[in-house]
Structure 1
Amino acid sequence: MAQASTYFYDSNDADRQTLHRRITPSDAQYDEQEARWNLLADFIKPKLAETSGYPIRSWLQGSYKFGTQVRPVHTGDEFDIDLGVYYCWSGSSNDGDFGPKELKTMVQDTLKEFEAENDDVVEVLEPPKMRCCRIRFRGGFHIDVPCYHLDEQRDARALAIEDDSWEDSDPKAIYKWFTSQFDDYTRSRVRRLVRYMKAWAALKFRDDQDRPSSVLLTVLVAQAVYGLDGGLPVPEDEALKVVLCKVYETAFVAQDVRNPVDPDENLASRMNAEQWSAFTDGLKQFSEVADQAVDAESEVSACTLWSASFEYLFPLPDAQTLSEEARQLPALRTLPEVQVKAVSKDNSNLRYNGKNEIGPIPKNCNISFRVSNADRMPYGTNFYWMVRNEGDEAEDINDLGHKAGQGIEATEHSAYNGTHYMDCTAVAGGRIIGVRRVRVRINSFVAPKRNPPKPAWTKIKGRR
């Protein structure tokens, strides 16, 4: 039925709250990242050239370069940028004056020099990671700096590893492979599909060590699309469903995904057997959700089903669409009615009430939500709460929402300007029987303190 296609991506409305918009960095975030890696590259290249005696090249790589970067999906997570630095000499990697460990240490020391001169650096990770050095910045992102030997005449590269070994690795080759597989239109769609997969993986596997790598997901998606006989379906949700099926089939057969530009490298080998099993199990569940969602008969049902995989990242229909569908429901499928109360933490005299919405209210309020007609819902109905944040303030710090618990009550607090939603999903007998979107409007009004400090002049004692 493909009811949710435009909730994934809407080419006619760039400002609409689609999944793709919610997981894609803003223009300001892109600009900030670009400014930082340019500044860092300009600092470290001459330093490394002086220390090593070799010409230094740099090349932006990874998700930023591929156009598949996603914003962090959990508060506190960081954007990841990969800035490769290349020591250039002719011959093999072992023909240089320094070993891989020494070259990697030069990068680490240079990053520490940069840290000493820049207040916006949080830290240089110590000890360094096995295949790169990492520098963390304020603003919620870090730059990974892998270093390579580059023989420009042979266009050959090798990655310096912390254990003092060289590893065959050519990020430029796999980028060229990716961009050459499709025409511009299809490539833009593949990039979106990769983003959807990466967002799902970030939600499913919170620990970086358990998560499939970005390059693994990119290759799986690209090869799945390339192998489709009839091309991608036009609806975005159907396209994801088809690709998911192909990706799962590949992953289920064996833990073996070859690097398309280096068949000797198995991109799946960095995951152990237990991690791979969890990945394939997750893909199976994801694919089953996709099948159900694409077959759903309404926008509300489809979007709610997709939310099982994308949680608060996936948008729900607006209140009008929900109401129109609710009028077509049988009487026993009553929508949850939600009473909302807010109390300012700065001044408890400031209290606000609402039904199915609240606001505008100031920041720093405790907000309580309660299903008031739970006794009239079908027996055994459970209520699941989900926060979906919108607006520049929440997006700037990548706080797009979170699960908010289960039961007839939930509590939250007001933190960001804008219009946000507490969504209550009623489930009975394993079926979704209703969804209530509770709109929460928050403004920049600062509640006055209930008992503010007395002015200094009131404390001055006069002479008797």
Structure 2
Amino acid sequence: MGRASSLFNGAGEQTLINRVSPTEQQREFLRTSWNELAEHLKVSLKAKHGYTISTWLQGSYKYGTLIKPVHSDEEYDVDLGVYFEWGKGAEIEPTADQLRRWVQQELVDYQPQCPTMRHVAKPPKERCSRASYEHQFHIDTPVYHLNTDTDKRRLACLTKGWEDSDPKAFHKWFRDARTGGQRDQLRRLIRYLKAWAALSFDDIPDSRPTSILLTVLATEAYADIGLALLFGVEDDDALISIIKTIHDRLNKDRSVQNPATKADEDLNRMSAEAWMAFLPRLDALLDIAQRAEEAEGEPAAALIWTEAFSFLMPLPEVDEVDLVDEQTSRALMQLPDIDIAVYTGTGDKRRFVANHRNQVAGVAKGCTLVFSIANSHILPLFSTIEWTVRNEGLDAEAISDLGHRRMGMGLLQVEERTRYQGTHHMDCIIRVNGQVYAVRRVPVTIRDVHQVHRAQQPSYTRLSIRRRR
């Protein structure tokens, strides 16, 4: 088993877990930013209002399940709880609204002192204030009262007053659910599910499952893998198992209780309409997992997983993949050839520079590349053409632009701009009724130079996938 395990969590640089996880440089920026903000809030709020202030990191960063933004308009989310401490002896108890106004104003006052903070959201959200930073990152600051006599916590909401909430209890539940290598694997599985959710609900955002919902579902489903956990389970096999368990569970009962509290708190807060739109996407994920489980070999499994993870899912280091009939050993279709026209400039000043076929050995930043299927007559009737950009390297990772995908019938040509140094891929996948018939991987090497290299003869690596009848 574990057919695509090396592409999920192998030793190579391009793995799914590496593509969805923040880099060390990104984590360091997040760490520095929230630490500096936490220290400022503790000192300044106490000086102005007299209460002892503590802070506590919570959410995905705390649990080790934070993923990169998968779209350019999204941001990393770090949750920094701000706690006002007092007990029964307090002469005057501030209201929830007062605490929220104090913290919101403190963020506004802090912004001119912090060069990397771009703005503070106005008005604040119902359950937190938000400060946005450079590098696609924001800090949410939920505000709590910590009762120093009972160690109980309650969340200050903007309009609804106090709400019972104890993020430390949830963190303790998650921390104690698994230990060692199993905890590390569980964290990876949660990141995979969060990446799927981030990609799969663009058109229906109200149906996108929350991070805490996926965390509970994955953690409770992980136990169902059973005794196999004692001997070690590959990431893709473990993911298939928990997808099956989650699908079965949610089709029986949509409610997901908070396991960390005794209160009757349903973490599934989707409306009935949003829930009905969510279920078909979950059905599709189950279908992908089942087909990946039955796939013959790594390339076939990887191509199936791209239906869930799109450009985030790395593909094997091959240039050509074709589908071969199991009985006749003949390819179902000829491989597509891709012509790439290179242009400099834009608009009226756009100028043709060079033509390439099936690879671009060297091209400057800021060029336009037009990808076209040269032998379009080979395409089967009603085939879907899928163009997927997979970016790699530090430049792309710095702004979390790891790629994008376009698809459609008759989509014989697409246009892209060269932005990041390094070797990236344009993958052209031909599907018929969802089944992959052929794949052409076009490597594009972008250099930080002004000249454009002429085409070189590529050295191809070809792989065949056997099609079961």
Question: Deviation string for 1:365-410 (max 9, x for gaps)?
Answer: 1101111122134333332111111110001100000013432211
- Which letter maps to 1:386? T
SS in 1 for 2:270: coil
Q: Distance in 1 between matches of 2:365 and 2:23?
A: 24
1:47 corresponding residue in structure 2: 44
Residues 19 and 139 of structure 1, relative CA distance in 2, 3 Å threshold: same
151-160 or 171-180: bigger deviation? 151-160
SS in 2 for 1:198: helix
1:201 to 187, 194, 197: 197
Structure 1 residue 337 and structure 2 residue 337: aligned? Answer: yes
Q: Distance in 2 between matches of 1:158 and 1:149?
A: 5
- Which letter maps to 1:234? V
Structure 1 residue 76 and structure 2 residue 76: aligned? Answer: no
2:164 corresponding residue in structure 1: 168
Q: Distance in 1 between matches of 2:299 and 2:239?
A: 18
1:368 and 1:409 in contact (8 A); partners too: yes
1:392 corresponding residue in structure 2: 394
What TM-score does the superposition give when structure 2 sets the normalisation length?
Answer: 0.89
2:371 corresponding residue in structure 1: 369
**Residue 208 of structure 1: CA displacement?**
5.4
1:85 to 82, 87, 91: 82
Query: Which residues of 2 match residues 174-253 of structure 1 at below 5 A?
Result: 174-206=170-202, 209-232=206-229, 234-253=233-252
1:129 and 1:162 in contact (8 A); partners too: yes
1:216 and 1:267 in contact (8 A); partners too: no
61-70 or 381-390: bigger deviation? 381-390
2:461 corresponding residue in structure 1: none
Q: Which runs of 5+ in 1 are unaligned?
A: 449-464
Residues 307 and 128 of structure 1, relative CA distance in 2, 3 Å threshold: same
SS in 2 for 1:432: strand
374-383 or 117-126: bigger deviation? 374-383
Q: Distance in 1 between matches of 2:392 and 2:226?
A: 39
Question: Deviation string for 1:272-296 (max 9, x for gaps)?
Answer: 1122222232222101111001111
Query: Which residues of 2 match residues 310-325 of structure 1 at below 5 A?
Result: 310-319=309-318, 322=320
Residues 399 and 326 of structure 1, relative CA distance in 2, 3 Å threshold: farther
**Residue 212 of structure 1: CA displacement?**
1.6
- Which letter maps to 1:248? H
1:18 to 12, 15, 20: 15
**Residue 210 of structure 1: CA displacement?**
3.6
Q: Distance in 1 between matches of 2:435 and 2:321?
A: 19
- Which letter maps to 2:179? D
**Residue 343 of structure 1: CA displacement?**
1.0
SS in 2 for 1:259: coil
The alignment yields a C-alpha RMSD, in angstroms, of: 2.2
Q: Distance in 1 between matches of 2:189 and 2:123?
A: 35
- Which letter maps to 1:400? L
2:5 corresponding residue in structure 1: 5
Query: Which residues of 2 match residues 234-273 of structure 1 at below 5 A?
Result: 234-273=233-272
**Residue 119 of structure 1: CA displacement?**
3.0
1:156 to 127, 152, 167: 152
**Residue 350 of structure 1: CA displacement?**
6.2
Q: Distance in 2 between matches of 1:306 and 1:205?
A: 17
Number of residue equivalences: 443
Q: Distance in 2 between matches of 1:415 and 1:126?
A: 33
Residues 78 and 414 of structure 1, relative CA distance in 2, 3 Å threshold: same
Q: Distance in 1 between matches of 2:434 and 2:363?
A: 36
